Amino acid sequence: MKNETSIGTWLSVGSPVIAEVAALSGFDWVLLDLEHGSASEASLPEQLRAMRGSRTKGVVRVGAPHPDLIARVLDWGADGIMVPHINTVAEAEALVRAAHYPPRGRRGFSRTVRAHDYGLRSPEGTPAPLLLAQIETLDAVNASAAIAGVAGIDVLFVGPADLQHDLRHRPATDTADFEDCLARVVAAARAAGKYAGTLVRDISELPRRLDQGFTQVAVQSDLALLRDAFSAILRDWGSLDRPQQPFSPGTGPA
């Protein structure tokens, strides 16, 4: 993900097979989603194992900024952590502390976890985790320059659905334009020497976001891709000239 630009995708189903296919396909990174995903944290180790040996980085979005969960996910071998709803410098600093060992942070240390090959590899050789702070409210946009200035935060990652929801439900005296908010986040990240990222649901939107200065971009999710593919099959099926006789077990020819 440390390249100037990189492409990722969202994995919400929790399947190691899908994680492996995404890695074999060549994504720079995938986001394993514990906030809105369909599986529990118990599914993470197998998804991370499925990507081992590939160039694809595994970033895990935790559902809440709990230090014990962040530490456990990193012990399992995640390359990075995304935390939703980072609205303040204090919350960004708490993320950094949770993800780093003392003296920089408060993460508990063990030599025998998967992140260190169960004790077969020196912990000193383990790269620092990538830390992605999600900007999902107008308050976060307003604080984005300060959040980007927190040492250890690598990416300001806009959650478009949450940010748009927040903007729609603001008082009339406290409104802002979504595209202007995106530009402000990109500018804040650039000024601090950090990256700006976001999720796009439509591949046609990708050039526009890259032109805006987003460099860490996720496109679509496994769940949405499956949904859209299934819906397309059924639309085509419905357009065919075929006998209108629904299948019912036990009613076929003897």
Residue of 247 and 232 predicted with greater confidence: 232
Checking if the pLDDT of 105 tops 70, the result is yes
Rounded Cα distance, 156 and 189, in Å: 7
The string of pLDDT tens digits covering residues 17-38 is 999 999 999 999 999 999 999 9
Enumerate residues 6+ apart whose C-beta is below 8 A from 99: 70, 71, 74, 81, 105, 107, 129, 131, 152
Residue 24 domain flag: yes
Rounded Cα distance, 143 and 85, in Å: 12
Please answer whether residues 79 and 59 qualify as being in contact, where contact means their C-beta atoms are separated by less than 8 angstroms: yes
Residue 249 domain flag: no
The string of pLDDT tens digits covering residues 78-103 is 999 999 999 999 999 999 999 999 99
Total domain count for the chain?
1
Instruction: Please state the pTM of the whole predicted model.
Output: 0.92
Structure tokens at 109: 């240390």
Residue 32 domain flag: yes
Residue 82 domain flag: yes
Q: What do you get for the CA distance between the two ends of the chain, in Å?
A: 60
For residue 122, what are the domain limits? 6-238
Active site residues: 36
Residue 251 domain flag: no
Alpha helix locations (H) across the chain? 16-25, 44-50, 67-75, 89-99, 138-142, 144-148, 160-168, 178-191, 206-212, 222-239
Rounded Cα distance, 86 and 91, in Å: 6
Residue 247 domain flag: no
Residue 79 domain flag: yes
Please answer whether residues 206 and 200 qualify as being in contact, where contact means their C-beta atoms are separated by less than 8 angstroms: yes
The string of pLDDT tens digits covering residues 44-73 is 999 999 999 999 999 999 999 999 999 999
What does the pLDDT read at residue 2?
Answer: 46
CATH number, domain containing residue 173: 3.20.20.60
What does the pLDDT read at residue 254?
Answer: 57
Residue 146 domain flag: yes
